[in-house]
A and B are shown apart, each in its own frame.
Chain A
Amino acid sequence: MRYTLKRKSWATALVAAVAVGSSCLGLMSQAASAAPVTLTFWSRPQGENGGIIKLMIDEFNRTHTDIQAKLTIIPQDQFVQKVATAYRSGDAPDITSVDLIYVPYFAKAGAFEDVTGIYNAAKYKNQWDKAHVALSLYKNKMYSLPFTAEGSVLFWNKDLFKQAGLDPEKAPRTMAEILSAAKKISALGGDIKGYYFSGACSGCNIFTFAPYIWAQGGDVLNKDGSPNFASKEAKVALQFYKDLWDAGTVPESAKNDNGASFAAPFLTGKVGMVGAGAFFIPGLVKDHPEIHFGVTPLPGAKVGQSSSFAGGDNIAVLKGTKHPKEARAFLSWATDKGQEFLAKQPVLPTRLDVAQKTYVPLDPVNYKVMYDALLVGKTPWTTSYNSLIQDNQGPWLKMFTGAIFGGDIDGAQKAAQNQAEQIYKKEK
Chain B
Amino acid sequence: MKSTRNSSMAGVWFILPAMIFVLVFFIIPLIAVVVMSTTNFPLLGDVTYIGFQNYTDIFSDTEFHQTIIHTLVYTFLVTPPLFIVGLGTALLIRRTNKLSSFFRTFFFMPLVIGFGSAAFLWYWLLDPGTGYIPQLFREIGFGRMEKPILGYMPGALIAVILMVVWKFSSFQMILLMAGMQGIDPEVLESSEIDGAVKWKQLRYVTFPLIKRTLVMVFILSIAGSLLAFDQFFIMTGGGPEGQTQTMVFYIWRQAFRSFNLGYAAALSVVISIFLLLVSLIQLRYIDEKE
Which residue from B43, B242, B259 sits with its C-beta under 8 Å from A393? B242
How far does the Cβ of A207 sit from chain B's closest Cβ, in whole Å? Answer: 17
- CA A384 to CA B45, docked complex, whole Å: 14
Binds B, one of A46-54, A114-122, A141-149, A250-258: A250-258
Q: Are A427 and B256 in touch, CB under 8 angstroms?
A: no
User: Which of B4-12, B96-104, B232-240 is found at the contact surface with chain A?
Assistant: B232-240
Is B148 a contact partner of A390 (Cβ separation < 8 A)?
no
Tell me what chain B mostly uses at the interface: helix, strand, loop, or mixed.
Answer: loop
A251 near B129: Cβ-Cβ < 8 Å: yes
CB distance from B137 to the nearest CB of A (A): 14
Q: Known A258-B237, A386-B257, A401-B240; judge A393-B245 contact (CB<8 A).
A: yes
- Residues 253-268 of B, flagged 1 when their CB comes within 8 A of A and 0 if not, give 1001111000000000
Indicate if the CB atoms of B253 and A391 lie closer than 8 Å. Answer: yes
Q: Is the CB of A87 within 8 A of B44?
A: yes
Query: B286 → chain A, closest Cβ, in Å?
Result: 38
List, in ascending order, chain A residues with CB within 8 A of B44's CB. Answer: 84, 87-88, 105-106, 109-111
Docked CA distance A394–B242 (Å): 9
B241 touches A391 (CB 8 A): no
Give chain A interface residues in 331-348, CB to chain B under 8 Å: none
Q: Does A386 lie within 8 Å of B259, measured CB to CB? A: yes
Report whether A392 and B129 are in contact in the complex, using a CB–CB cutoff of 8 Å.
no
Is there an interface contact between B148 and A81, defined as CB atoms closer than 8 Å? no
Bound complex: CA of A386 vs CA of B42, how far in Å? 13
One of B147, B156, B242 near A398 (C-beta < 8 A): B242
CA distance A406 to B151 in the complex (A): 12
Q: Across the interface, do B151 and A109 meet the contact criterion of CB distance under 8 Å? A: no
Across the interface, A109 reaches (CB within 8 A) one of B45, B156, B242, B245, namely B45
Output the residue of A84, A87, A393, A423 with the most chain B CB within 10 A.
A393
**C-alpha gap A256/B155 in the complex (Å):** 12
Interface string of B113-140 (1 = CB under 8 A from A): 0000000000100011100000000000
A405 at the interface (CB under 8 A from B): yes
8 A Cβ contacts from B126-183 to A: 127-129, 146-148, 150-152, 156
* In contact, A398 and B257 (Cβ under 8 angstroms): no
In the complex, are the beta carbons of A387 and B148 less than 8 A apart? no
How far does the Cβ of A57 sit from chain B's closest Cβ, in whole Å? Answer: 26
Question: By the criterion CB–CB under 8 Å, are A200 and B151 in contact?
Answer: yes
Q: Chain B nearest CB: distance from A129 CB in Å?
A: 27
Main secondary structure of the interface of A (DSSP, over half): helix
Q: How far is the CA of A80 from the CA of B242 in the complex (A)?
A: 24
Residue of B with least CB distance to A255: B151
B257 pairs with A401, CB closer than 8 A = no
How far is B43's CA from A384's CA once the two chains are assembled, in angstroms?
A: 12
Q: Which of A84, A387, A392, A423 has the most CB of B within 10 A?
A: A392
Are B146 and A393 in contact, with the CB atoms below 8 A?
no
Contact-residue size bin, chain A (C-beta under 8 Å from the other chain): 35 or more
Residues of B with C-beta under 8 A to A398: 241-242
Verify A394–B257 contact, CB threshold 8 A.
yes
Q: Is the CB of A81 within 8 A of B256?
A: yes
What's the count of A-B pairs with C-beta under 8 Å? 87
**Are the C-beta atoms of A392 and B238 separated by less than 8 Å?**
yes
What residues of A have a CB within 8 angstroms of the CB of B257 in the complex?
386-387, 390-391, 394
B241 & A253 in contact (Cβ 8 Å cutoff): no
Query: How many residues of chain B are within 8 Å of chain A by beta carbon?
Result: 28
Closest A residue to B156 by beta carbon equals A256
Interface flag for A377 (CB, 8 Å): no
Give CA–CA (A251, B236) in the complex, Å: 18
Contact A253 B242, CB 8 Å, known A258-B237, A390-B257:
no
Quick one: which of A401-423 are within 8 Å of B by CB? 401-402, 405-406, 423
Contacts of B236 in A (CB 8 A): 256
Q: A31 to B28: give the CA distance in the assembly, Å.
A: 48
CB-CB under 8 A from A218, the residues of chain B are none
Q: Is the CB of A401 within 8 A of B259?
A: no
Within 8 A of B (CB), among A82-120: 84-85, 87-88, 105-106, 108-111
Asked if residues A256 and B151 are in contact (CB atoms below 8 Å), the reply is yes
Interface centre among A80, A105, A106, A200 (most CB of B within 10 A): A200
Contact B242 A405 (CB under 8 A): no
Cα A255 to Cα B84 in complex, Å, equals 33
Q: Is A320 an interface residue (CB 8 A)?
A: no
**Least CB separation from A78: chain B residue:** B256
Residue of B240, B245, B257 most packed against chain A (CB within 10 A): B257
A354-396 residues at the B interface, CB under 8 angstroms: 384, 386-387, 390-394
- Report yes or no: B240 in contact with A393, Cβ–Cβ below 8 A: no
| A251 in contact with B146 (CB, 8 Å) | yes
Q: Are B239 and A253 in contact (CB under 8 A)?
A: no
Of all chain B residues, which has the CB nearest A385?
B257
Q: What distance in Å separates the Cβ of B263 from its nearest Cβ neighbour in chain A?
A: 10
Interface centre among B127, B150, B151 (most CB of A within 10 A): B151
Q: How far is the CA of A428 from the CA of B241 in the complex (A)?
A: 26
Q: Which of B43, B148, B241 contacts A406 (CB 8 A)?
A: B241
Is the Cβ of B259 less than 8 Å from the Cβ of A253?
no
Contact B258 A427 (CB under 8 A): yes
A384–B257 Cα distance when bound, in Å, is 9
Whether the Cβ atoms of A255 and B240 lie closer than 8 Å is: yes
In the docked arrangement, what's the CA distance between A142 and B156, Å?
A: 46
A194 at the interface (CB under 8 A from B): no
Partner of A392, one of B237, B256, B258: B237
235-290 of chain B: CB within 8 A of chain A: 236-242, 245, 253, 256-259
A256 vs B147: C-alpha distance in the bound complex, in angstroms? 10
Distance in Å: Cβ of B84 to nearest Cβ of chain A: 29
Binding site for B on A (CB under 8 A): 80-81, 84-85, 87-88, 105-106, 108-111, 199-200, 251-253, 255-256, 258, 260, 265, 384, 386-387, 390-394, 398, 401-402, 405-406, 423, 427
| 22 pairs from A and B in contact (CB 8 Å cutoff) | A80-B43, A80-B259, A84-B259, A87-B44, A108-B45, A109-B43, A111-B44, A200-B151, A251-B129, A251-B146, A252-B147, A253-B146, A253-B148, A253-B151, A255-B147, A256-B239, A390-B257, A393-B242, A393-B245, A401-B239, A405-B240, A405-B241
In the complex, the 10 A-B pairs of residues with the closest C-beta atoms, listed nearest first: A109-B44, A256-B151, A255-B151, A252-B146, A391-B257, A387-B258, A253-B128, A256-B150, A256-B148, A84-B43
Sample of 15 more A-B contacts, CB < 8 Å, known A255-B147, A405-B151: A81-B43, A81-B256, A85-B43, A88-B44, A106-B44, A109-B42, A200-B240, A253-B148, A255-B151, A258-B237, A386-B258, A391-B253, A392-B237, A392-B239, A427-B258
